[in-house]
A and B are shown apart, each in its own frame.
Chain A
Amino acid sequence: MTNESAPNIPATPGEYLLKVTNLSAWYGAARILFDLNFEVRRGEVVAMMGRNGAGKSTTFLSVMGILERYRGSVNFLGQDITREPSYRIAQMGLGFVPEDRRIFTELTVLENLDIGRQPPRGWPDGTAISPWTPEDLFDLFPNLAERRHMPAGRMSGGEQQMLTVARTLMGNPYLVLLDEPSEGVAPVIIEQMVSLIHTLKAAGVSILLSEQNLHFARQVSDRIYMIEKGAIVYSGTMEELLADSETSNKYLSLGAL
């Protein structure tokens, strides 16, 4: 799998990993997304920001090939993945951390990690991606280490959130779609998420995260896209957004700052 796609993998940092063109999506007859255009470059952490119901999760589900009806084109590592089934997309190295966690509650922590396991990958420029092992992940998330044999459904919400990130990392992704990592978890977990994202970025993993919490996003992201009613209404670097409080107040919930 890795070898097939190897020639197309960006050779140097800064090239496009993910490029989405004119993406539209529907739930049944209701149109949710309207011609979205965005991209993520190698080594970047990009935040897609917007209120509840703006279309962030739908965007991620569409990119992952989970949502059935969508139009437009999704390009990952130079390959068109618009019509690929989600397992192929995941096998190509695009990881997905869903907002509602979707851990396997009956399985233990270790078993959950095993479900996400995929063969190691490497960049064509020779940059090694050292494959994640459960022990690496337990170093990152010490809470999980203590609970490795516990059924995942018995853990707290924050621990489940960590597990879903760890499970996706077991697939050694080039890029992770991280859907609302700060939603509904305690402030202390949010702090851990911030340092986790920094660690992942340092390890060469690129991240596209969805957020409505600007306080969180500003600590981790290089660039942002603002999404409102299924359309991208603003894009820029984090510095630009922070300088423009009018925009952030307009599109994010009150008190986001």
Chain B
Amino acid sequence: MGFSGLIVQILNGFAEASSLFMIAAGLSIIFGVTRIVNFAHGSFFMIGAYVAYTVVERFGDPMWFWPGIIIAAVASALVGLMVELTLLRRIYRAPELTQLLATYAVMLIVQDLVLYLWGPVPLLGPRAPGLEGAVNILGRQFPTYSLFLIVAGPLTLAALWALVTRTRWGRLVRAATQDREMVSALGINQAWLFTSIFVLGAFVAGMGGALQIPREPASLEMDVHAITSAFVVVVVGGLGSLPGAFIAAILVAQVKAVCLWIGILEIGPFAISLSKFTIVVEFVVMAVVLIFRPYGLMGTRPALLRHTRNLTSSMLIAPLRARGWILAAIILVAFAIVPQLRGSFPYMPILMLEIIIMVMFATSLQLLMGPGGMHSFGHAAYFGLGAYAAAAIVGYWNLPLELALVVGVGGAVVGAIVLGWFSVRLSGVYLAMLTLAFAQIVWAVFYQFEGLAGGENGITGVWPEGLFGGRDAFYYLAVGCLIVSLAFLYRTLFSPFGYALRAARDSAIRAESIGMDVSRLQWQSFLLAASVAGIAGALYALSKGSVSPEILSASRSIEGLVMVVLGGEYAIGGGMLGAVVFVWLRDTIGYNAEYWRAVLGVITIFLLLVLPQGLASLLRFTESLKRAKE
């Protein structure tokens, strides 16, 4: 494509940037004030698109497209209002991860709700009345509607900017973004401020969704695509900054546009398809920006808290006592006798094997989250690297299984050496997003390059032979790996290293001032966690007989987070408990319920509201109940 092609792609990029900005703007303001990373924001975008479609459909006149945009935006805003009043209001003081999972659960529920109301088939909306045609740009046809979108983005920015800078509401928003406690101490009731911000964000996202339907059909994947891109834009722009989000939206969209324009890049004998690269380009942009500007393009370093993080007794991690050890022994025996029950429950060992693997995965993530205080959103990267390394050993080179396990650990650790080094330089949401970006990049590498590990199809025929090749032998090998891994993680937790890691979590500044190298400690914890995740991944590949890029997906990382939070991130065995319950629930519901996402969402919200400290607190609860009786 020549120069005119580039111009058209760039114009397309600006149109794309406008809709990106409309999702990201609300997300950014909501985060700025309420500190909630709102996963459900993509859902508002999706609701906007579907409602706009239905408005035109019902009234049968394409002219309804224009009022439909406002109706769709209002509908999204109403859903937002409901979510804020019924759910978020209860959890503003909860740990950020609880909030995040609650909004993730909302996303799951909305997904199934939309599936129920509109069905699974993507719905292509009408063309925008009055803007159906195309204009001629340097001999190429360019849709008039896209030109309209190019203008709509900056107009939205201008309107929001005026609202934020020229009204008392806007002043309160900006003040609360900096210090909401002080705003409250000056007599402002934040409840209505939070509600109004959330409703406004949902309104703008809904409008963005409605504006999208002449360009792409309303579909069930819209929410996930929208929220992922919006996260990237918000983080690249700097959390809470509107102009930052606008610039980031343009940057991301234009880099994509240029990649599309270049198409296939030939460097010597290698041909790299940059147009396929677009699936991951936004994450590359985010990783690069975060490495050089840790708080985004226009973000500011969060104010250093004068007081150390507000410690609560629930964050203390205590060694197991007699009861705990007895419980652990019982669980172990239960794991061990499962193959003997094959006669009566043929499916049991398969489910248990998956549970064992997920327990290792979740517990290794828990080391980073609980004691480390680092919410990694990309733990699937290490799981997947371990799986691919092991699969290559057995599937490609027919080497023994034992070696595959070792190499699996090695693969994951090598990944953590590189990715962890960058990740620990950030903290909080920024760290979470960088780890997510890295995992997505790893996923894209395996997905994209056919030459490397089979591309989209992955590696198949990974059937180990030898001593542990048999069903039961392999199962016991997995149990053995589980025991070794858990013992290793437990030992780590109560070693000087484990205490130092918690010190770094609770007050990084104090830890540094007494001579601890906080980044280094955290980096090391990444390596430890990755090694266990790697062995879990290796076992997974060997048990399934194949491995595909799906193993590296963001949803696997998020599943890990759900397991840890459900179980309790500060409880010994929290990851284990969460993994057992999660895998079992998914297995039971997933195959029996049509709307399993909604069921999972409702259960998650229920557990988060009833047991904010995780399932493990249930055990403690019965303990304290007993004590109370005595």
Task: Using CB atoms and an 8 Å cutoff, list the residues of chain A in contact with chain B.
Answer: 27-29, 64, 66, 68, 85-91, 96, 98, 100, 102, 104-107, 111-112, 114-116, 118, 167-168, 171
How many inter-chain contacts with C-beta < 8 Å in the A-B complex? 71
Task: Check A64–B185 contact: CB distance below 8 A.
Answer: yes
The answer to whether residues A114 and B185 also contact, given A29-B311, A104-B178, A106-B178 and a CB cut-off of 8 A, is no
What's the minimum C-beta distance from B433 to chain A, rounded to whole angstroms?
Answer: 23
Other-chain contact of A29, B175, B187, B306, B313 (Cβ < 8 Å): B313
Task: Check B184–A102 contact: CB distance below 8 A.
Answer: no
B186 proximity list for chain A (CB < 8 A): 87, 90, 96, 115-116, 167-168, 171
B179 proximity list for chain A (CB < 8 A): 102, 104
Per the bound structure, the CA–CA distance linking A28 and B171 in Å amounts to 33
Known: A90-B185, A98-B185. 16 other contacts (CB 8 A): A27-B311, A29-B311, A66-B184, A85-B184, A87-B184, A88-B189, A90-B187, A96-B185, A104-B175, A105-B178, A111-B174, A111-B175, A115-B171, A115-B186, A115-B188, A116-B186
What is the chain B residue whose CB lies nearest that of A99? Answer: B306
Task: Check A87–B185 contact: CB distance below 8 A.
Answer: yes
Per the bound structure, the CA–CA distance linking A61 and B369 in Å amounts to 30
Per the bound structure, the CA–CA distance linking A98 and B184 in Å amounts to 13
Interface membership of chain B positions 286-322, coded 1 if the CB is closer than 8 angstroms to chain A and 0 otherwise: 0000000000000000000011001111001000000
B178 proximity list for chain A (CB < 8 A): 104-106
The answer to whether residues A87 and B189 also contact, given A102-B179, A115-B183 and a CB cut-off of 8 A, is yes
A88 proximity list for chain B (CB < 8 A): 189
A100 proximity list for chain B (CB < 8 A): 306
Task: Check B311–A91 contact: CB distance below 8 A.
Answer: no
Per the bound structure, the CA–CA distance linking A228 and B260 in Å amounts to 69
A167 proximity list for chain B (CB < 8 A): 186
Task: Check A115–B172 contact: CB distance below 8 A.
Answer: yes
For chain B, which range describes its interface: under 10, 10 to 19, 20 to 34, or 35 or more residues? 20 to 34
Other-chain contact of B182, A68, A102, A106, A114 (Cβ < 8 Å): A102
Task: Check A28–B187 contact: CB distance below 8 A.
Answer: no
The answer to whether residues A114 and B188 also contact, given A27-B310, A104-B178, A105-B178 and a CB cut-off of 8 A, is no
B168 proximity list for chain A (CB < 8 A): 114
Greatest chain A CB density within 10 A among B182, B311, B313 is at B182
Task: Using CB atoms and an 8 Å cutoff, list the residues of chain B in contact with chain A.
Answer: 168, 171-172, 174-175, 178-179, 181-190, 306-307, 310-313, 316
A87 proximity list for chain B (CB < 8 A): 184-190
B311 proximity list for chain A (CB < 8 A): 27-29
The answer to whether residues A107 and B171 also contact, given A98-B182, A100-B306 and a CB cut-off of 8 A, is yes
Greatest chain B CB density within 10 A among A27, A86, A91 is at A86
A171 proximity list for chain B (CB < 8 A): 186-187
B184 proximity list for chain A (CB < 8 A): 66, 85-87, 90
A96 proximity list for chain B (CB < 8 A): 185-186
Per the bound structure, the CA–CA distance linking A111 and B165 in Å amounts to 10
Task: Check A106–B189 contact: CB distance below 8 A.
Answer: no
Per the bound structure, the CA–CA distance linking A98 and B181 in Å amounts to 11
What is the chain A residue whose CB lies nearest that of B188? Answer: A87
What is the chain B residue whose CB lies nearest that of A119? Answer: B187
